[in-house]
Amino acid sequence: MRFAHNSERQFAKLLDFYNIAWEYEPRTFTLEWDGDGRPAQAFTPDFYLPAYDLYIEITTLNQKLVTKKNRKARRLREQYPDVEIRVLYQRDYLHLLVKYGLEPPSQLAEAGGAGEPPLRLTHAPSPPASDVAESA
């Protein structure tokens, strides 16, 4: 699989290590339409985690891109309220790398370790009752 950025490849490896099913850029959400009803602006989150029904967008240290991605994630939430999305900021991503021994702690200090707590995927949701009944 070809990823747009190395950080996406490393994140996919981390998900694979923990047997978390993922899809890479599986869906594009239209955020704005032109006068003829054609898509004028869209957003394709980096990952979808089916077990969590969650989209993940990974950012970089480039503040211009962070601002743009935050705006798109906010518009996605407004227009698609049933869609869950988390923006994984560079500092969150580096926390994960350090926690799982994939990068030296100096990387974390360079990114500014303060801010939101790291993303945590603590458990998979229980399957719907219909799925449990079918497998019994």
Write down the pLDDT at residue 64: 75
Write down the pLDDT at residue 120: 55
Write down the pLDDT at residue 119: 54
Tokens 């594009």 -> residue:
28
pLDDT tens sequence for the chain (136 residues):
899 888 888 889 889 988 999 999 999 999 999 999 999 999 999 999 999 999 999 987 677 788 889 999 999 999 999 999 999 887 887 788 778 776 655 544 454 444 444 455 544 444 444 333 443 3
Q: Which residues pair with 88 in a beta bridge?
A: 58
Alpha carbons within 13 A on the beta-carbon side of 55: 21
* Angle, alpha carbons 23-26-28 (nearest 5°): 150
Structure tokens, 97: 């790398």
Residues 6+ away with beta carbon under 8 Å from 41 = 30, 31, 32, 72
Q: Evaluate whether 44 touches 56 at the Cβ level (below 8 Å).
A: no
pTM of the model: 0.72
Rg (CA), the chain: 17
Nearest-angstrom CA–CA distance, 47 and 85: 10
Write down the pLDDT at residue 112: 47
Write down the pLDDT at residue 136: 39
